């Protein structure tokens, strides 16, 4: 049998080529070429294996210096001197923000950075820049913390701030939580999907969130709160309370003044009520506990939810209740007034000094 032909190609100047074939009669020469080819392939395999082992070793070494989640973390601290009431403005894209009251004359800021990036060296380089230049500026008693440049898709920042009690706060976050304790205020909070919490604030509070919750306690001023789909709770608010939510629940306890609240599909619960109340729900229940003070007005409207009033034997008000398709149940002593029926009730409780109106479309009304 003749040996396999060898192909010889000759490239022309114009870039084309001509190929011709010829027979190789020397079998030993062919064997040497085949052996050389196998040796070359073996050498390439060894080099590839060595490179793979080296890459694995470098990867392992890099991960050994990373924090949980494949990133790095670091901190920075600043101490600022102030000589009067402080204005604190905070902008935080994705981290949490905590503000607590401390001694007068100084503001202490602790910043925690969390950087996620690959390769690890880039994360460490970014972390070094952040820790050496934390996003804190001061102009007299106006202190600005954070900024949208401090948080990226690869990094988050948490702020812990100790400020004098005589401090006003305006805080905005994207998805982080806001927690404030013990300042004078007023305070303004806004977050996209984070929660808002404020306790023992002397001034007024305005709070809004897209899908996070709002929790307020021991607020001496007025409260305005709104949430897209989160719950709102307020306890011990001395001033007026105005709150609204799309699909979350609203809970108010021990209100010191008028309450105006509304929700689309969530329930409303008010405990220890005495001042003016105005409540609206689309498909949620309304539950109110307390006694209306003389000359106050309680107004409740529900689309398809039930309305339950829990009053003491000493309560004094005139009641007008109406339900288009639900029942009305009075489990306390009442004096009938005017026209009554299965879906409508006019009555006097006690001396009838206050006024209570209840209306629901398809829910029931209960007086206990």
Say if 137 falls within a structural domain: yes
Asked if 150 and 157 touch (Cβ cutoff 8 Å), the reply is yes
For residue 241, pLDDT beyond 60: yes
68: confidence class by pLDDT, cuts 50, 70, 90: very low
pLDDT of residue 121: 61
102 shares its domain with 169: yes
98 shares its domain with 136: yes
Nearest to 68 by CA among 110, 115, 108: 115
Could you give the CA distance from residue 303 to residue 284 in angstroms, rounded to a whole number? 8
141 shares its domain with 176: yes
Question: Which of 64, 80, 114 finishes a domain?
Answer: 64
| Percent of the chain at pLDDT exceeding 90 | 68
For residue 77, pLDDT beyond 60: yes
49 shares its domain with 80: no
57 shares its domain with 100: no
For residue 306, pLDDT beyond 50: yes
Digit-coded pLDDT (tens) for 189-238: 999 999 999 999 999 999 999 999 999 999 999 999 999 999 999 999 99
Mean pLDDT of 357-364: 94
119: confidence class by pLDDT, cuts 50, 70, 90: low
46: confidence class by pLDDT, cuts 50, 70, 90: very low
Instruction: Tokens for 279, please give them.
Output: 């409540």
Say if 84 falls within a structural domain: yes
Asked if 263 and 244 touch (Cβ cutoff 8 Å), the reply is yes
Cβ atoms within 10 Å, residue 210: 17
Say if 249 falls within a structural domain: no
Choose between 117 and 366: higher pLDDT: 366
Question: Which of 163, 185, 207 finishes a domain?
Answer: 185
Rg of the chain (C-alpha set): 36
Average per-residue pLDDT in the chain? 83
Mean pLDDT of 64-79: 71
93 shares its domain with 57: no
54 shares its domain with 12: yes
Say if 151 falls within a structural domain: yes
Question: Could you tell me the residue range of the domain that residue 117 belongs to?
Answer: 69-185
Question: Which of 152, 185, 218 finishes a domain?
Answer: 185
77 shares its domain with 141: yes
88 shares its domain with 176: yes
Mean pLDDT of 121-134: 84
For residue 57, pLDDT beyond 70: no
Say if 45 falls within a structural domain: yes
pLDDT of residue 120: 59
Say if 123 falls within a structural domain: yes
Say if 306 falls within a structural domain: no
87 shares its domain with 60: no
98 shares its domain with 146: yes
Could you give the CA distance from residue 29 to residue 300 in angstroms, rounded to a whole number? 103
Asked if 90 and 145 touch (Cβ cutoff 8 Å), the reply is yes
Number of domains the chain contains? 2
For residue 248, pLDDT beyond 70: yes
Range of lowest pLDDT (64-68, 257-261, 306-310, 329-333): 64-68
Helix axes 27-64, 120-132, angle to 10 degrees: 30
110 shares its domain with 39: no
Say if 140 falls within a structural domain: yes
Could you give the CA distance from residue 42 to residue 25 in angstroms, rounded to a whole number? 27
């Amino acid at each position: 049998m003749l040996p396999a032909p060898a192909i010889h190609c000759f490239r022309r100047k114009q870039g084309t080529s001509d190929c011709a074939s010829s027979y190789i009669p020397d079998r030993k020469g062919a064997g040497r070429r085949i052996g050389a080819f196998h040796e070359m392939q073996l050498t390439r395999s060894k080099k590839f294996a060595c490179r793979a082992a080296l890459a694995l070793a470098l990867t392992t070494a890099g991960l050994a210096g990373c924090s949980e989640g494949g990133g790095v973390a670091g901190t920075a601290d600043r101490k600022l001197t102030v000589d009067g009431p402080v204005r604190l403005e905070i902008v935080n894209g994705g981290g949490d923000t905590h503000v607590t009251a401390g001694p007068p004359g100084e503001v202490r800021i602790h910043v925690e950075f969390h950087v996620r990036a690959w390769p690890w060296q880039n994360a460490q380089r970014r972390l070094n820049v952040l820790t050496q230049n934390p996003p804190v500026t001061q102009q007299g008693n106006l202190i600005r913390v954070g900024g949208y440049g401090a948080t990226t898709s690869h990094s988050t920042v948490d702020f812990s701030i100790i400020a004098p009690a005589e401090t006003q706060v305006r805080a905005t976050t994207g998805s982080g939580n806001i927690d404030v304790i013990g300042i004078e205020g007023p305070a303004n909070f806004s977050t996209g999907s984070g929660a808002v919490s404020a306790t023992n604030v002397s001034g007024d509070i305005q709070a809004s969130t897209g899908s996070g919750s709002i929790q307020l306690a021991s607020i001496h001023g007025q409260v305005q709160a709104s949430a897209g789909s989160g719950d709102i709770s307020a306890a011990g608010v001395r001033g007026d309370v105005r709150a609204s939510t799309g699909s979350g629940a609203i809970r108010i306890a021990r209100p010191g003044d008028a309450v105006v609240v509304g929700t689309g599909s969530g329930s409303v619960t008010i405990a220890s009520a005495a001042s003016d109340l105005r409540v609206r729900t689309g498909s949620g229940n309304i539950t109110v506990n307390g006694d209306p003070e003389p000359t106050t007005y309680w107004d409740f409207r529900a689309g398809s939810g039930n309305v339950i009033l829990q009053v003491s034997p000493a309560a004094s008000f005139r009641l007008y209740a109406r339900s288009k398709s639900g029942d009305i149940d009075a489990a306390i002593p009442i004096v009938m007034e005017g026209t009554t029926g299965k879906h409508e009730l006019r009555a006097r409780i006690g001396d009838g000094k206050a006024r209570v109106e209840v209306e629901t479309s398809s829910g029931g009304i209960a007086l206990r």
